[in-house]
Chains A and B, each alone.
Chain A
Amino acid sequence: MKTVSERFLGGEEGDYVFKEVDRVMLHDGNAPLLFDDMEGEDIWDPEKVTSVIDHFCPPSTVERANFVERLREFVEEKGIKDHVESGGICHQVMCEGRVLPGELVAGIDSHSTTYGALGAFGVGFGSSDTVEILKEGKTWFRVPETIRVEISEGEDGNDIALSMLEKIRYEANYKTIEFVDKVGLNMDDRLTIANMAAETGAKAAFFPPDEITRRYLQKFDIESDVEISLSEKERCVKEVNISVEEPLVAAPSKPYNVKTLSKVSGKSIDQVFIGSCASGRMSDLRDAAEVLESGKVHPDVRLLVTPASKRVQEKALKEGVIEKLVKAGAVMLNPSCGPCSGIDKGVLAEGETCISTQNRNYPGRMGKGEVYLANAEVCALSAVEGVIPEEVGR
């Protein structure tokens, strides 16, 4: 039987294949590098391309304002109709009624693995590769091997993702991770896990579409009956079981430098960030609001919160979640990439420490300081206590 990767890409494991893609995602953070190469070239099918402004949103320098303006001109000139500005982070935008189960999606971003949460095959590309994809609608792939990850216990997507990172580290480079969800995780958590699979080096991550996927898509008036079963165990090069019983934290400065919460508790915190394409969804904002309902942000801490998309922001407003966050002292940023990669508001000074729900804590990722990674509840409690807490009240 074919593996999931063989089914999506054709060919057999290890082969180099040319394959048509079903959909392309562009964003302002990487698209500027392809404008010159696309000069005078047509896009093979502009209907299949989505453009998102989320990195420089709104831009903080004239050079970046020019990138954004050039992207607006580019979509106009090339006939791309699906252009989203100030609507949220690209991967969340793509997963709000665009990406469908069974699709092969090329994104100009390393976290394109996120689309696997919906039973699609999301693969990231650099700008030169994306030029070829935009022109031809296809590119070359090496058909990857498979790692099977069975999730047998755990409540929070960030914790499950950190446990996966602790166990796989970077050893999924060039491979596909397939998930067996025995818990019945909600879509927010699946999106977090598929997103953070990028940190294992994985080319793609995949949750087989099920009832949870179908119910999620129905919110966007999409009915999907696509069924794709997991690869057979015998065809997987590695099997990992995940069972998370307590919150986990990745210490600086690798996402797989994972410790239990108690091992890092007491660490003094200057900034807390709840957001990025790994988080900032309703379940994360609700978790944070629940903590902050009975506490205030510590006077020595800045708490920055970014809803993943405009849709999430509106829902959080309606539910009163944002009111709770703001009253407790949170700074609300607009739906965008924010401080995660150190390109927008919220970079760290030398010697500062941040705890964040984001996916990366590499040296220099958020300016000069150090970054710890954790779930929204741990982050919110850190904002209240001014230090990484000993335990959470779950």
Chain B
Amino acid sequence: MRCRARVFGDDVTLDEIHPSRYFSLDPERVVQGLMAGIEPRFFKTIEDGDIIVAGRHFGMGSGRESGAWAIQLAGIKVVIAESFSRYMFRNCVNRGIWPLKVEGILDKVSEKDPLDVYPEKGSVVLEDGEELTFEPFPSRMVKIIKSNTGAEDDVR
């Protein structure tokens, strides 16, 4: 999967990923809140193939699933982080988003860098050809992620 990295730092909290004022059942409203605690108009800048890259503890704090839903609605299929909060990890799986735990990713990827991601193989190939690997998901989890992926969810 050919992707473009949208890079955030360590300790990105759910209150920043999706501020509570965007809590809604209206998909248009929900997607507007994506990353609004850090970059208010982030959702406007998303292009096909964009993925989120972050450091440690992505999604710490609240368990509100509207965060993962906003990522899904924006058409983002992959989040790579050094580590995830338990809630963000489970919510991503349930929303058909691959939460990939890749050590050292933040040091090696800059904003808008292209990269190739092979979620099932457990591999990320950077622009210069360097390959970073991670432990692939058990088949049961792959099945859950795939069954929850829906192209029609992209409302950008």
B25 pairs with A33, CB closer than 8 A: yes
Whether the pair A341, B63 counts as a contact (CB closer than 8 A) is no
Measured CB to CB, the closest approach of chain B to A25, in angstroms, equals: 12
Q: C-beta contact mask, B78-107 vs A, less than 8 Å → 1, else 0?
A: 000001011100110011000000000000
A342–B37 Cα gap in the complex (Å)?
A: 13
Interface on chain B toward A: helix, strand, loop, or mixed SS? Answer: loop
Report A's interface with B, CB cutoff 8 A: 16, 29-30, 32-33, 63, 67, 108-110, 124-129, 170, 173-174, 199, 201, 203, 254, 341-343, 360, 362-365
Q: Is the CB of B20 within 8 A of A125?
A: no
- Which of B44-52, B64-72, B120-128 lies at the interface? B64-72
A33-B66, A363-B13 known; A124-B61 Cβ under 8 A: no
Q: Does the CB pair B90–A129 fall under 8 Å? A: yes
Residue numbers in B under 8 Å from A108 (CB-CB): 63
A interface: dominant SS: loop
Are B19 and A126 in contact (CB-based, < 8 A)?
Answer: no
Residues of B within 8 A of A (CB): 11, 13, 15-16, 19-21, 23-26, 37, 56-57, 60-66, 68-69, 83, 85-87, 90-91, 94-95, 138, 148
Q: Which of A32, A173, A201, A364 is close to B16, meaning CB atoms less than 8 Å apart?
A: A364
Which chain B residues border A173 with CB–CB below 8 Å? 57, 60, 83, 85-86
Query: Which of B57, B63, B66 has the most CB atoms of chain A within a 10 A radius of its CB?
Result: B63
Q: In the assembly, what is the distance between CA of A79 and CA of B148, in Å?
A: 28
Known: A109-B63, A124-B63, A363-B37. A342 touches B19 (CB 8 A): yes
Q: Is the beta-carbon distance between A201 and B86 smaller than 8 angstroms?
A: yes
Listed by A's residue number, 10 A-B pairs whose Cβ atoms lie within 8 Å are A29-B23, A30-B65, A33-B25, A108-B63, A124-B63, A124-B87, A126-B63, A126-B65, A129-B91, A362-B13
Known: A33-B25, A128-B95. 10 other contacts (CB 8 A): A30-B64, A67-B25, A126-B63, A126-B87, A128-B65, A128-B91, A129-B94, A173-B83, A362-B15, A362-B16
CA A254 – CA B87 in complex, angstroms? 18
Query: How far is B153's CA from A41's CA once the two chains are assembled, in angstroms?
Result: 22
